[in-house]
Amino acid sequence: MITINNLQKNFGTTVASSIEYFEITDGEILGLVGNNGAGKTTLFRLMLDLLKADSGFVTIDGINPSENEDWKQHVGAYIDEGFLIDFLTPEEYFAFLGKVSGMTKEQSEKRMEDFTDFAAGEIFGQKKLIRNLSAGNKQKVGIISALYRRPSIVILDEPFNFLDPSSQTLLKHLLTDYVAQTKATLLISSHNLQHTVDISTRIALLEHGCIIRDLDNKNQQAIHELDLYFGS
């Protein structure tokens, strides 16, 4: 379970995060939506201990990520290109991830096969460094890297960005299949309301760093409230 407790992060006079209490239970697919600058990325960065809160804290399975490194064993995340080792090829990068998480070479190669469809023949076997991949293919490498070690918590910031329409559809299947198989908790942010509604069980709407709506989306019913809010 993830909890957010009196979390506050300001940049000068900008309130980037201000959340009194929020709980994300195991197995939920939480979609985070909100206009530009609403605080989605900031919240993920605070959760992953990439930013220091002004006050308050997050817990991941009871651990405050800023106090202990153990949570890194079961959390996979992709926020931006800074998560990649871009002077490696995708195969080298995934082999590295497999190695540091204790997989054998064979297990790691087998894991890569799980992502063949999503990679669409453009990531594996290309002999290209990650830095030379297109924006969409880099994004795919980042998403695969977040899922690679089969973590029980996955955090993806705007995963649909840069992906072509068929890859966006494949990604929705990849993520929902992953959660169905592993019972993982998945947190995604997105500006694509339809994709978010299609896969999320719950949707949090952010405005000026605050969660202003907490929407049950088990039957995709959140779309009506989101359409009203975003005026679409």
Q: Is 11 in the site for ligand ATP (CB under 6 A)?
A: yes
CA neighbor of 149 nearest in space, from 65, 48, 61, 73:
73
| Residue 145 CB, nearest approach to ligand ATP (Å) | 20
| Residue 108 CB, nearest approach to ligand ATP (Å) | 32
Binding mask 34-53 for ligand ATP (x = CB under 6 A): x-xxxxxxx-----------
Phi/psi of residue 52, nearest 5 degrees: -95, 130
| Residue 34 CB, nearest approach to ligand ATP (Å) | 5
Could you give the 3-state DSSP secondary structure of residue 104? coil
Q: Is 208 exposed, middle or buried (0-12, 13-18, 19+ CB in 10 A)?
A: middle
The DSSP output letter for 70 is G
Phi/psi of residue 14, nearest 5 degrees: -85, 125
Stretch that binds ligand ATP, among 11-19, 99-107, 170-178, 222-230 (CB under 6 A): 11-19
Stretch that binds ligand ATP, among 30-38, 75-83, 126-134, 219-227 (CB under 6 A): 30-38
CA distance 114 to 109: 9
Number of shown-chain residues binding ligand ATP (CB under 6 A)? 11
| Residue 21 CB, nearest approach to ligand ATP (Å) | 19
DSSP assignments along 71-86, one per residue? GGGSEEEE-SGGGS-T
Q: Is 16 in the site for ligand ATP (CB under 6 A)?
A: yes
| Residue 113 CB, nearest approach to ligand ATP (Å) | 33
Q: Which is nearer to ligand ATP, 14 or 66 (CB)?
A: 14
Q: Which is nearer to ligand ATP, 33 or 123 (CB)?
A: 33
Q: Which residue is it, tokens 């908790």?
A: 185
Phi/psi of residue 220, nearest 5 degrees: 60, 25
Inter-residue contact 34 to 40 (CB < 8 Å): yes
Residues between 56 and 95 that touch ligand ATP (CB under 6 A): none
Could you list the residues that contact ligand ATP (CB under 6 A)?
11, 14, 16, 34, 36-42
